[in-house]
Amino acid sequence: MVETDETEEPVVVEPTPEAASPPQGRRAGPPSLSTDQWTCEIALWTEHDQGVFYARSFHRGDEVTVAESPGFAVPSTGTVEESPAAVAAYESLCDDLVRMGWARDADGRDWYGTRFRRDFSLSALNASLTAHVTSERRNY
């Protein structure tokens, strides 16, 4: 059990100004983690005949998994079309992200590559780290 000193005052961190949006026609950089605002995008992970959509962000060049969709079947071509199962998995992930406080920001290159934004919070960091551990287990 960890004991805390209730007389300590919380530290207030002032957010830094948000970076300007990229000029029209230029693709935004990879999603990023910061203490003022997070961005993430939906990507696809496939193995054999199974797929999972996952929301990813980047921190110091490392990919961080924010959340994952339920699994779904992927055709042998490896290309994910807008099949009913794929769309249901994508929509489930989008709904989860919105429930976690993320807001849709922009469409991506692929039909499922939606980008999201949210303000930084410790609960979001916790959820992200839990999802990251789950994702890492899949790689073993």
Q: Which of 15, 74, 18, 80 is nearest to 50 (CA)?
A: 74
Question: pLDDT tens across 102-127, in order?
Answer: 999 999 999 999 999 987 666 666 66
Rounded to two decimals, the pTM is 0.62
CA distance 121 to 140: 30
Least reliable range by pLDDT among 19-23, 43-47, 67-71, 134-138: 19-23
Angle at 105 between CA 46 and CA 56, to 5 degrees: 30
- Provide the residue ranges of all domains of the chain, joining segments of one domain with +: 37-138
Question: pLDDT tens across 35-44, in order?
Answer: 567 889 999 9
